[in-house]
Amino acid sequence: MKILITGASGFVGIPILYRLINSHKISKIQALTRKIEHDLPKHEKVDWVEADIGDSVKTESILNEFKPDILIHLAWSGIPDFSEYQCLQNLRQSIDFINHVLQNSNCKKILVAGSCFEYNQMHGICHEDSITEPKDFFTWAKLALLKYLLLSCDKHNVSLAWFRLFYVYGARQREGSLFPTLCKVFEENSVPNLNTPKNANDFIHVNDVARAFELATSQEFSSGIYNLGRGKSVSVVEFCKALEMLIKKDDSLTKMLINNTSDSIEEINFYASTVKAEETFGWVAETSLESGLKESLRNHNE
């Protein structure tokens, strides 16, 4: 089985790649990245290809030669730029690229990274069958891509798994995200500067996300949306405290954060229903917050 993965060198892509490498069912992996770095995983199964999915000439040449059985599409350029221009560009490039895959290969499965923000929901449990309305250009572009792919994959008899990722954390996460930001301030013995620490999110470790993608490569499933979260919310304060305890062995900075933001309110508290992913793939998030933070710190400090 041959797999093509876009965004392979990213925060989510690397853990997925490691799991694919260790799968005996997968013979070859073509990993696309905009820039090949020296520290990317090297394995006989993996061919790294420096390419932007917006370069139609190069990507068409790659697809004509490789002809993947499965596409894992993670690429979404420009983050955290969610402007109208950037979102339109990502949408157009994704559609054009995936069309090349569908028309020039025998691809039977497409696995895509969606986002929990597609729900536009502030509180409570998020179900895959909820009615969704875009709140900005990013969610509009994601929802538009989803609707297009459901129609296109049905036409080509391809199974589509649209994985809605909740608050994924781990090593290699982009600068400015919660985990690397907190690591830096705690290492500097500073109080985190967070405006809404009482907000609660469904934090899921990146390794659990990677396992879901791997399971989908070897199982049959119906096209649709599948939530990937732990199915429970954790406040940002709790996340801070757990990480500070691991780094500093006390929570004095988190207590100062709580004192400094005593007037703040909880604006967000939503989490995933994961019943569908469990019933379809036998997948549940197995990594506790403490275990996930320990693993993330080990890799972050390497």
Q: Which domain range does residue 263 map to? A: 170-200+233-271+290-300
Confidence of residue 38 (pLDDT cuts 50, 70, 90): confident
Indicate whether 33 and 78 sit together in one domain: yes
Pair 46, 144 in one domain:
yes
Q: Identify whether residues 82 and 10 lie together within a single domain.
A: yes
Q: What is the model's pTM?
A: 0.94
Could you report the per-residue pLDDT of 129-167, keeping only the tens digit for each? 998 999 999 999 999 999 999 999 999 999 999 999 999
Is the pLDDT reported for residue 44 higher than 80? yes
Within 20-165, strands assigned E span: 28-33, 46-50, 70-73, 109-115, 123-126, 159-165
pLDDT in tens, 64-123: 888 899 999 999 988 889 999 999 999 999 999 999 899 888 899 999 999 999 998 899
Taking 80 as the threshold, does the pLDDT of residue 301 lie above it?
no
- DSSP class of residue 117 equals G
Does one domain contain both 78 and 189?
no
pLDDT, residue 58, reads 84
Number of domains in the chain: 2
The pLDDT assigned to 47 comes to: 92
63 and 174 inside one domain: no
Percent of the chain clearing pLDDT 90 (strictly above): 80
**Band of residue 302 on the pLDDT scale cut at 50, 70, 90:** low
**What's the CA gap between 99 and 36, in Å, rounded?**
25
- Give 134's contacts (C-beta < 8 A, 6+ positions apart): 118, 120, 140, 143
